[in-house]
Structure 1
Amino acid sequence: MKPPKQKKARQLEEKQTKLHDPHRPIIKDLLWFSLITTFFKVLLIPAYHSTDFEVHRNWLALTHTLPLSHWYVDETSPWTLDYPPFFAYFERFLSLFASLVDPTITDLYNGLNYKALSVIIFQRLSVIASDAILIYSIYKLTKNLESKKRFLIWVLVVWSPGLLIVDHVHFQYNGFLLGILLVSLGALQKGNDLIGGFVFAILLCFKHLFAVAGPVYFVYLLRHYCRGGILRGFTKLVTMGVVVVAVFVAAYGPFAYHGQIQEVLRRMFPFGRGLCHAYWAPNFWVLYILSDKMLAFVLAKLGFHIQTPTASFTGGLVGDASPFAILPTITPSLTFAIVLLAISPSLVKAWRNPQPKMIIRWVAYAYSCGFLFGWHVHEKASLHFLVPLAVVAVESIEDARHYFMLSIVSSYSLFPLLYEAQEYPIKVVLLLLHIALMWYGFSSQFSERNESDKRTACVLMVTGWMEKSYLLGFVVLEIWGQFLHPFLLGDKLPFLPLMMMSFYCALGMMYSWIWQLRCIVRSQ
């Protein structure tokens, strides 16, 4: 038993330690920052929402009403469940609260296209609440950084116009999924490989599209975690394997018990959907498709007989028909091989020198490859690499300049998601505000490092006539699509502005991919 004086002194020392805890101001600042962003997210509640809103409402009703064995076979609604089991469990968890707010929300048979204020508020707030995981991940990643870097990353991630457009207007749950990814990457960056692998396995059981970075994780963990001799390495390999398998058993085990694994996988991998989404994501296949169309046009003008394709780029493979007139047909297996080949430089680097400080770059590069060369890619998938790259954008002027351009390209490519007139000011203001914050934040940080060059703050973000011309092209493209095209062509060629946007943004995405590839190849 300690004497009273020693006990009192110890308590005073603990109190002073808490008061001088360097992390306390960080937590306080982050809480204030989160409250401000939450306020603006709440203001977006009445905004337009896409069919994804009804998709997720139906998933609430489906998981609440039906037994687990029927989740992946039910076709009561056209919006069938096609996410992995952990996301289905997540919907089931939310449905418990939704049924208390309004029972019609979880009514599978009578709630179709239910648009009452109760369901709108509940689902919007559920997205805002789930963003707590994203906030937590940012705190864990930035708590040991200097204040300017830390706050800049908060702004780039939490205030990302793409994330606000997709989640809080269009409506999805990308924020907390990206938060799980950042928790995993943060653990790997700090050397906590087992936790990083465990969290990534959880992420895959929430959304399987994150599996594109799986090869990078596998090679990195094999070389970095499973090292230290044959016996020790094998023991670690078994440990990691048991942890990952345990996560997948927890996710898929109940469905395997009910004999539903085949149905789950069929829903998750609908390869019949076609090479491109209805709105072409700005990737390599946009350039490929347009090249095919241009070749067909030129050859037809030269007198060659060109057979008109009978299959659709968005409707899937129709028999043996090819949607291409000249160029070879693209299949899911071919895109898989191309993605794996494109990722290979990061795999080689991870095998030769598995550095924790490089893992975020490697994973972001893998998601860039998946976005550019994958099958039926959605434009929203650009967030998978844009958000992780925000963490490394504060490291150098070159990283900041690359992120500045990539963020504009990614955000602008999401504009077609909000196609109604009343949402037009929202997306424009979000992007312009983001550009201003990036310019100020990056310039403020790097100009202090370069006191000998006071011009750094002015020329930091855009150097070279090519970059300046490309960014100026977005202004021209927007003026054409919003004003000149309707005025000059009316209802003619309605798909032209979208096609031009996809093509133009695809050029920027290809530029970013080449830049990332060069950085990885040159890294030591």
Structure 2
Amino acid sequence: MDDELSALPPDTELRKFTSRIRTTSLGVHVRQAYHSPASPQSSTTGRRGESPLRRLSSPSPIPHHLTHEIHAPTPQRHLLESNASQHWLRTPPHSPTSSRAASPVSAIHTHRLIRHMSFSSLHEETRPRPRVHDKEKEKEREREGETMGRRWIRWMNRRGLKRWVVPGAILTSTLVKACISLGSYSGKGTPPMFGDYEAQRHWMELTVHLPLRQWYTYDLEYWGLDYPPLTAYISWICGKIGSWIDPAWFALDTSRGIETEGSKVFMRTTVVVCDALVYVPALLMFARTWQGTRSKRTQSLVLLTLLFQPALLLVDFGHFQYNSVMLGLTLLALNFFATGHDLVGAACFVLSLGFKQMSLYYAPAIGSYLLAKCIYLGPSQGGILFLRLALVTLTTLLLLFLPFLPPFAPLPAILDPISRIFPFARGLFEDKVANFWCASNVIVKWKNWASHGVLIKLSAGLTALGFLPSVGGMLHAGYKLRLPEKLEKPEKSDVVGGPAHTHTPFLPLLPYALLSSSMAFFLFSFQVHEKTILLPLLPITLLLSGANVDSSVYKWGVLVNNTAVFSMWPLLKRDGLGVQYIATLLLWNRLIGYNPFRLPNKSFIQLLSTAVYTAALSLHVLEFIFAPPSRYPDIYPVLNVLISTPVFVLTWLWSIKCGIEVGGGLGSGGGVAGERRPPSVSEHSVTADGAATGSFRQMGGRAVSLGVAQSYKRRATFGGSSRASSVVGAGDAE
């Protein structure tokens, strides 16, 4: 500081300047303003390391035609930047903005103040004064971004309870789950078949008392087991524990329809425990992995948003199911993909498939991502990864179905679980589900128009067309960003930190591909339940959790979540969960700071949200006041479907659009990733070591965050050059 101040000329010399220079940086334009071609001392090479204050104090006159006034408009960010996806996985922005704001006063005025003020006083004196209406707009934006969850997190931090934020959120969500469990459930007091609660209890009963070969064949007319083997194994464990507590709860045949208080407490507890063992750890890992560069408060807010998702709470802890296990295993797979542990992630996804076959909704997206990574790594490393993934997948599947294979069972025994897992004989859809088939069935009676076999083929074709854009986009990204040949065979010392053990630059595409694929299955596939909307809700809620409140991702995520809960209203009403339906919706929307009654702007999503909420509220009022006519007893469920289905169709189209935009933003330099022009400044040396220093800024470099700098340093370990680090971060512009 003393050296900089000693370079200042006296005040009399400063008065010689008559022009004012406004600049945003000490870049080439400002240097040209002070550059004199006739003077060798003013060359660029001779003055790059010189203090900027010394250059400003040059006594030579400045011609008027060489002065510049540089404006720094804020560019509109690409979707890959604007939806906070650059924060995921420590991915740096494509176009890092300057860390210095535009100077509101002339350099001479600032120069004079430096002699008499400290840096804090100087900043307070020279910063631009916001106008009155700017202050009002800023306060309004702060109020809109202020959420109940954020206020609670701030309150905990101010009182020295920072380390209790995450445990408090988990305990509070567990308490909410327990409160929901106090209500009714599927099939309560409705013999002879009861509902999903009795189905889950019955599976514990038969797995405990029957040999394994009879699990999928015993009395199929009364809740025959129709889930994959992992569900059966977990049911066996729960049944063993319950039989040890009270054998009457799971007595073979005689316990059917049992609804004692003790048995209900035990069954509800199994759901809470399974959720705590699988789903909650997956959420914690997601917040730490995908949102790793965000602040601790933001990570805590992400966790709150996911913990209190109303649809999952109502289905698992109200209606009674174990969907959190399936979703938790899938989320663990995504987390391991993000950290480069593809083999562990593949095993987790196979376990998710082994728990519930509905995880197949995610299979096209996850399969295309892993295949795209094999393409990205090249023939050598990609081929090795492909063989390892195939081996892990087949081994995990073999272990799940091993009791149904020789020598433990005859070979035809494997057909018993398969025929139960894929029930094509049940029909195109059940009840009134908000998908394409049920909504269009109002006009076109599909079962009368086409045979059963034709409907199966038509459903499969439409489903494939539905997820094809996301699969194609993922494979195209892997090919476009593939590594150059010289990085396909790293040295032995670099294998651990090589590209096969890191996430790919097209990983931000994965959530959109999951949303597109799962929504396509929900809309067009065969035999869909209303509860399967939980699968598309997982990826869009993950996107929503880290998005800004004024972003389209946030608005679409909230709309889809609220509409999904509304679409399940006929089911929840039948289960007697009306109070829980209202309470969870209000709690979650209040927690994330969403106000559906705020005056809409002119954006399409806001107008759509207003129309959907108005129609849903009107339908609830009509249903509460008027009974359905005898001629149309299902009029209200059908209207529910007609309101919800357009939202899901538009969400599916929006996910395809976002995937195209994000994919187009990756590797925008064109060509193979390794053939791009390398950075002018060594990223792994200057960026990592001098990002926060003034000397780096004087050299003409742009400041980056320390998190990004460290990520570049890690990426450079396997390449040995700045070119290698830019290849691993393909898609991150210079």
Short-chain TM bin: 0.7 to 0.9
Match of 1:104 in 2: 248
Q: How does 1:302-451 map to 2 (within 5 A)?
A: 323-325=447-449, 331-354=455-478, 355-393=506-544, 394-396=546-548, 397-420=551-574, 423-440=577-594
Q: Distance in 1 between matches of 2:309 and 2:442?
A: 30
Q: Are 2:283 and 1:138 aligned? A: yes
Match of 2:382 in 1: 233
Match of 2:364 in 1: 215
Q: Distance in 1 between matches of 2:454 and 2:347?
A: 35
Query: Which segments of structure 1 move beyond 4 Å, counting only runs of 4 or more?
Result: 24-27, 325-330, 440-443, 457-464
Backbone CA RMSD of aligned residues: 2.7
1:170 to 316, 319, 326: 319
Q: Distance in 1 between matches of 2:285 and 2:602?
A: 29
Match of 2:64 in 1: none
1:21-75 deviation per Cα after TM superposition (whole angstroms, max 9, x unaligned)? xxx9887422211111111222233311111110011000111111111111111
Q: Distance in 1 between matches of 2:170 and 2:604?
A: 30
- The structure with the largest alpha-carbon Rg is 2
Q: Is the 8 A contact 1:45 1:120 kept in 2?
A: no
Match of 1:484 in 2: 626
Q: Is the 8 A contact 1:152 1:441 kept in 2?
A: no
Match of 1:280 in 2: 432
User: Per the alignment, in what secondary structure is the counterpart of residue 355 of structure 2?
Assistant: coil
Match of 1:291 in 2: 443
1:80-117 deviation per Cα after TM superposition (whole angstroms, max 9, x unaligned)? 11100111111111112111221122212211111111
Q: CA deviation at 1:216?
A: 2.0
The aligned length equals: 457
Q: Is the 8 A contact 1:368 1:385 kept in 2?
A: yes
Q: CA deviation at 1:141?
A: 0.7
Q: Distance in 1 between matches of 2:389 and 2:608?
A: 47
Q: Distance in 2 between matches of 1:371 and 1:473?
A: 23
Q: Distance in 1 between matches of 2:653 and 2:614?
A: 21
Q: How does 1:188-267 map to 2 (within 5 A)?
A: 188-225=337-374, 227-257=376-406, 258-259=409-410, 260-267=413-420
Q: Which runs of 5+ in 1 are unaligned?
A: 1-23, 294-321, 444-454
Match of 2:175 in 1: 39
Q: How does 1:479-518 map to 2 (within 5 A)?
A: 479-486=621-628, 489=629, 491-518=630-657
Match of 1:473 in 2: 615
Q: Is the 8 A contact 1:401 1:461 kept in 2?
A: no
Question: Structure 1 pair 420/340, CA: closer, same or farther in 2 (3 Å)?
Answer: closer
Q: Are 2:424 and 1:271 aligned? A: yes
Q: Which runs of 5+ in 2 are unaligned?
A: 1-159, 187-194, 479-505, 665-734
1:121 to 241, 252, 265: 265
Q: Distance in 2 between matches of 1:66 and 1:358?
A: 46
User: Per the alignment, in what secondary structure is the counterpart of residue 73 of structure 1?
Assistant: coil
Q: Distance in 2 between matches of 1:262 and 1:82?
A: 12
Q: Is the 8 A contact 2:543 2:557 kept in 1?
A: no
User: Per the alignment, in what secondary structure is the counterpart of residue 256 of structure 2?
Assistant: coil
Q: Is the 8 A contact 2:169 2:304 kept in 1?
A: no
Q: What letter is aligned with 1:390? A: T
User: Per the alignment, in what secondary structure is the counterpart of residue 163 of structure 1?
Assistant: helix
Q: What letter is aligned with 1:99? A: S
Match of 1:308 in 2: none
Q: CA deviation at 1:289?
A: 0.7
Q: CA deviation at 1:159?
A: 0.9
Q: CA deviation at 1:418?
A: 2.0
Q: CA deviation at 1:477?
A: 1.1
1:202-223 deviation per Cα after TM superposition (whole angstroms, max 9, x unaligned)? 1111111111221222221122
Q: CA deviation at 1:349?
A: 1.2
Q: Distance in 2 between matches of 1:379 and 1:76?
A: 23
Question: Structure 1 pair 165/323, CA: closer, same or farther in 2 (3 Å)?
Answer: same
Q: Is the 8 A contact 2:180 2:314 kept in 1?
A: no
Q: What letter is aligned with 2:219? A: E
Q: Distance in 2 between matches of 1:88 and 1:464?
A: 45
1:482-516 deviation per Cα after TM superposition (whole angstroms, max 9, x unaligned)? 22235xx4x55221111111121111111211111
Q: Is the 8 A contact 1:226 1:237 kept in 2?
A: no
Q: What letter is aligned with 1:63? A: T
Normalised by the length of structure 2, the TM-score is 0.59
1:255-274 deviation per Cα after TM superposition (whole angstroms, max 9, x unaligned)? 12313111111111110111
